[in-house]
Amino acid sequence: MFKGTRVLVSDVVELLGAGVSIEEIVRDYYPSLNEEMIREALRYFASC
């Protein structure tokens, strides 16, 4: 889950897997996030 939100990292990963860009995720799905939050979460997610 992204800190300070109720957005699950896995939900964002699923959208990315479906071809949605980070910019679209922030603009259209989760405006409470920003691009850096998503990139940081992806780095962490990839290291697990």
Does residue 39 lie within any of the structural domains?
yes
Q: Find the helix packing angle between 35-47 and 9-17, rounded to 10°.
A: 90
- Our count of domains for the chain comes to 1
Is residue 46's pLDDT more than 90? no
Does residue 13 lie within any of the structural domains?
yes
Supply the pTM of this predicted model. 0.85
Does residue 36 lie within any of the structural domains?
yes
CA proximity to 30, closest of 47, 1, 46, 17: 1
Q: Give the pLDDT confidence score for residue 44 in this predicted structure.
A: 87
Q: Give the pLDDT confidence score for residue 45 in this predicted structure.
A: 81
pLDDT digits (tens, 9 = 90+) for 8-34: 999 999 999 999 999 999 999 999 999
pLDDT band of 1, cuts 50, 70, 90:
confident
Does residue 2 lie within any of the structural domains?
no
